[in-house]
């Protein structure tokens, strides 16, 4: 019997389709995991002793670490009080968004003038408002400086970048009583929260003074990735989705430019000439939406927020003129 030669086994072709599907699944899971870590870092304040991540100061490895692990935002505490600026004050506590207790400072003033309700920006405590508060106090206004939940003397450890903070604005306005007129002053994220509070129809101020509000949550997150020299899509879209999904709101609908359509009171909106976080085209967008209710001022030589500190004379002139025209 003659032995038959071994028949060579056919070569197995590489299954490119299956490989590409598996690769796509891995990349999808990886990108979403990164976005979830980013969302947690952005919306959760760490202990006060933690070191806040500043994207502008990071090298290549630092940016990679932030991309995979998310940023660190420390809880900012109040290191000064109105007394350091020559103002007597009283502390007040009351429930805000989701029942979280907030802390506010009340500074007395002329009861014939509106109370100026003051709200800080993202990750900031109310002591960052003290320089502006001193200016309002010199004009004779009563003041109420409020810490959003998660910052300063308020309880909590999270933020929704202005969405739930609108309920903090509503709660603070409710402490004044229905018969007392108020002017809302807010910076950055605080301005976004203030616009949403007015949009909800639960706060009706005599006027608003807003500094550097972002127009759309997606746009401001996109600016963040551009500053890291990364493409906006899909990173910004995933981060907006998970920021909302993990905190109970729709991030794609969190758009102060749309809230501004509900504004019916005189509004002074100021933004620094070199504001890289919001974008130089944003004031014009708000101006178009606010129409006759809006007064838009670009502050030369200034960056993002703290306009009272960087250009005090221009800021003072704008605010004095605006308040003098309120009826």
Which of 286, 139, 136, 318 shows the shortest CA–CA distance to 212?
286
d(CA 251, CA 245): 8
183 and 246 in contact (C-beta within 8 Å)? Answer: no
Report cis status (omega within 30 of 0) of the bond before 215. Answer: no
Return the CATH number of the domain spanning residue range 76-215+255-325. 3.40.50.1820
SS3 (DSSP) at 270:
strand
d(CA 252, CA 145): 29
pTM here is 0.92
d(CA 185, CA 201): 17
d(CA 43, CA 24): 28
* Entry field: residues in the chain: 327
Which of 41, 36, 40, 46 shows the shortest CA–CA distance to 157?
46
pLDDT tens across the length of the chain (327 residues): 555 666 666 665 667 888 889 999 999 999 999 999 999 999 999 999 988 877 656 666 666 677 677 788 999 999 999 999 999 999 999 999 999 999 999 999 999 999 999 999 999 999 999 999 999 999 999 999 999 999 999 999 999 999 999 999 999 999 998 789 999 999 999 999 999 999 999 999 999 999 999 999 999 999 988 877 788 999 999 999 999 999 999 999 999 999 999 999 999 999 999 998 899 999 999 999 999 999 999 999 999 878 999 999 999 999 999 999 996
- Where along the chain do its domains lie? 20-73, 76-215+255-325
> Rounded to the nearest 10 degrees, what angle do helices 130-138 and 312-325 cross at?
50
d(CA 197, CA 218): 20
d(CA 264, CA 205): 9
């Amino acid at each position: 019997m003659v032995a038959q030669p071994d028949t060579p086994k056919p070569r197995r072709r590489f299954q490119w389709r299956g490989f590409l599907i598996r690769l796509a699944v891995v990349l999808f899971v990886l990108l979403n995991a990164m976005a979830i870590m980013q969302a947690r870092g952005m919306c959760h304040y760490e202990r006060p002793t933690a070191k806040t991540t500043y994207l502008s100061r990071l090298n290549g490895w630092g940016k990679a670490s932030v991309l995979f692990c998310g940023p660190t935002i420390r809880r900012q505490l109040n290191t000064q009080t109105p007394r350091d600026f020559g103002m007597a004050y009283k502390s007040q506590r009351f429930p805000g968004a989701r029942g979280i207790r907030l802390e506010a400072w009340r500074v007395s003033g002329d009861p014939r003038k509106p109370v100026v309700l003051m709200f800080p920006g993202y990750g900031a405590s109310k002591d960052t408002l003290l320089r502006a508060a001193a200016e309002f106090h010199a004009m004779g206004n009563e003041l109420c400086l409020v810490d959003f939940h998660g910052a300063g003397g308020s309880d909590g450890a999270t933020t929704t970048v202005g969405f739930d903070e609108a309920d903090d604005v509503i709660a603070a306005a409710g402490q004044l009583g229905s018969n007392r007129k108020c002017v809302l002053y807010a910076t950055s994220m605080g301005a976004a929260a203030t616009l949403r509070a007015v949009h909800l129809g639960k706060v009706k101020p005599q006027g608003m003074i807003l500094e550097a509000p972002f127009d759309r949550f997606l746009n401001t997150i996109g600016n963040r990735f551009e500053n890291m020299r990364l493409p906006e899509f899909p990173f910004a879209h995933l981060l907006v989705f998970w920021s909302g999904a993990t905190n109970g709101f729709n991030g794609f609908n969190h758009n102060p430019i749309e809230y501004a359509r509900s504004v019916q009171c005189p509004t002074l909106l100021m933004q620094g000439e070199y504001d890289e976080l919001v974008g130089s085209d944003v004031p014009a967008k708000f101006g178009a939406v606010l129409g006759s209710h809006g007064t838009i001022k670009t502050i030369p030589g200034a960056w993002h927020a703290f306009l009272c500190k960087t250009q005090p004379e221009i800021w003072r002139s704008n605010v004095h003129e605006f308040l003098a025209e309120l009826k």
